[in-house]
Amino acid sequence: MRSLLERLFLPAFANQWLDARHDSAVMRIGAERIAFTTDTYVVSPLFFPGGDIGKLAVFGTVNDLAMAGARPLYLSAGFILEEGLPLAMLEIIVASMREAAAAAGVELVTGDTKVVDRGKGDAVFINTAGIGAAADVEISPRRVQPGDVIILSGDVGRHGIAIMSVRKGLSFETALESDCAPLWQPVSALLQKGVDVHCMRDLTRGGLASALNEIALDAGVAIAIDESAVAVCEPVAAACELLGLDPLYVANEGRFVAFVTAEHADRALDVLSGCTVSAQPRVIGTVGARGDAIVEALGALGNPRILDLLSGEQLPRIC
Ligand code: MG
């Protein structure tokens, strides 16, 4: 996907906003700084423990706005419906989107529906775009500096494993749900408390390892993390072992990393601890020198491994 972006889309449309390579484009319109983003949701199955495609389509886009330091305000939604989709199923998805929009404090203000022939879609695909009011401070990969501290907002892997549990018919002793949640509240708290946040990224497809690789590449820095500081709950760890997955690459829908100055790391931990969706934040690593964009993880025994950008998709149709 990244090479498709590099070779096709980015050169075709090159501009300062796209070149920032962030979760949202932030542009000035009159006196206002506006964040704008879009994402398409093809998750399979449509319903999974802790969420469904509708909830994901709202929170995913809201979170891409939040990662640029923008308060989510308005969404659009485009639905691609396969002929024969039961109306009752669509009603449940729409009700879920309405609830998610209310929880995230956004209004769905415009939309579209298209129907495709039976067999030419897969029940329902949803595209959402979002607009938010951006803070008057740049939060993007190009602000990442050597010495920045990397804070992870919670444990990893819940969303991907919740999806896989349905696909593979796994059951767990303790209930495992997707972490799917809106992230504006902790972001807003960080900004209000004056934490100098250089960059943030939500850990969606490709998980923590992919997010760190993207930022290392776009900021042109080395990143080192302490793998033992990355929390993985018991059912996720067990399922990853069973399925041969690396939890650092498994998708999340309610977790993010924040790159903050070393002086502000304690304050950031304090602020995040006070928010339900980021109640167990941890410092997981630091930004090293400029130059080689490399992400290194130190294991519990101190043996380092390189976290590569995966060439294939580890888990297709996870969001
Ligand atoms: Mg994102």
| Closest listed residue to residue 152, CA positions, set 257, 66, 67 | 257
Mean pLDDT in residue range 263-286: 98
**All CATH 3.30.1330.10 domain ranges in the chain, comma separated:** 24-134
178 CA to centre of ligand 1 in angstroms: 16
Containing 19, the helix (H) or strand (E) segment is helix 16-19
pLDDT at 313 over 80: no
Mean pLDDT in residue range 247-258: 97
40 CA to centre of ligand 1 in angstroms: 12
Containing 136, the helix (H) or strand (E) segment is none
Q: What is the DSSP string of 166-212?
A: HHHT---SS---------HHHHHHHHHTT--EEEEEE--TTHHHHHH
What would the pLDDT profile of 33-74 be if each residue is shown by its tens digit? 999 999 999 999 999 999 999 999 999 999 999 999 999 999
**pLDDT > 70 in the chain, percent:** 98
147 CA to centre of ligand 1 in angstroms: 23
Please tell me the distance from the alpha carbon of residue 157 to that of residue 249, in angstroms, as a whole number: 8
pLDDT at 247 over 90: yes
**pLDDT > 90 in the chain, percent:** 91
63 CA to centre of ligand 1 in angstroms: 7
**All CATH 3.90.650.10 domain ranges in the chain, comma separated:** 141-306
pTM of the model: 0.96
286 CA to centre of ligand 1 in angstroms: 20
229 CA to centre of ligand 1 in angstroms: 22
What does the mean pLDDT of the chain come to?
95
**Confidence category of residue 170, pLDDT binned at 50, 70, 90:** confident
Distant-in-sequence, close-in-space partners of 81: CB < 8 Å, separation ≥ 6: 90, 113, 114, 115, 116, 121, 123, 124
pLDDT at 312 over 60: no
CATH of 24-134, one of 3.40.50.300, 3.30.1330.10, 3.40.50.720, 3.30.960.10: 3.30.1330.10
CA 63 vs CA 58, 131, 171, 182: distances in Å: 9, 11, 29, 6
Q: Which fold has domain 141-306?
A: Phosphoribosyl-aminoimidazole Synthetase; Chain A, domain 2 (3.90.650)
64 CA to centre of ligand 1 in angstroms: 5
Number of helices (H) and strands (E) in the chain: give both, helices first: 10, 14
66 CA to centre of ligand 1 in angstroms: 9
Count CA within 13 A, CB hemisphere, residue 223.
Answer: 31
180 CA to centre of ligand 1 in angstroms: 13
Sign of dihedral through CA atoms 249, 266, 68, 125?
Answer: positive
67 CA to centre of ligand 1 in angstroms: 7
302 CA to centre of ligand 1 in angstroms: 30
